[in-house]
């Protein structure tokens, strides 16, 4: 018996897998473990960012693969949340990293809304390292 993987399946499982992998990297020991060492509210903003990623992963996993408009909506909301975290950050390096990721997520949301998850995959692959570097 052969299994056919549709574009929707590839989008759903490929992106969800990347999201889960990205979250795992973000939450991994060392990536955000140094949060708070530089003073200010960096530790709290990094912890809130980690939680935002976790919630986003949960939300995306609940979205049907054949509903790209809903993927866009969830991703846009997440970008807004990351933007809000950037506004809260007192550390300029963290603020800039979060603003950059929010903008990248907005760009990815447009693509995922039309069924193309490539840009979202790219964002979720390197976001943990980019944000983690700002949290150290």
Rounded to an integer, what is the distance from CA 107 to the centroid of its chain?
12
Profile the chain (136 residues) by mean pLDDT over runs of 10 residues: 42 53 44 50 92 90 86 94 96 95 94 86 88 87
What's the confidence (pLDDT) of residue 77? 96
- Domain ranges in the chain? 7-135
- pLDDT for the residue numbered 33: 40
Looking at residue 126, its pLDDT comes to 87
d(CA 109, CA 114): 9
* pLDDT for residue 57: 87
What is the predicted pLDDT for the residue at 15?
56
CA within 13 Å, CB half, 107: 12
Q: What is the pTM of this model?
A: 0.75
């Amino acid at each position: 018996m052969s299994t056919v993987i549709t574009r929707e399946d590839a989008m759903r499982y490929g992106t969800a897998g990347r999201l889960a992998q990205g979250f795992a990297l973000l939450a991994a020991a060392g990536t955000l473990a140094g949060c708070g060492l530089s003073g200010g509210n960096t530790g709290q903003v990094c912890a809130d960012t980690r939680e935002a990623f976790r919630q986003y992963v949960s939300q995306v996993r609940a979205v049907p693969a054949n509903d790209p408009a809903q993927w866009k909506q969830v991703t846009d909301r997440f970008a807004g949340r990351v933007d809000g975290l950037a506004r809260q950050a007192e550390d300029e390096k963290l603020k800039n990293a979060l603003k950059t990721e929010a903008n990248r997520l907005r760009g990815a949301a447009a693509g995922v809304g039309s069924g193309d998850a490539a840009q979202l995959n790219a964002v979720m692959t390197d976001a943990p390292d980019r944000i983690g570097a700002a949290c150290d």
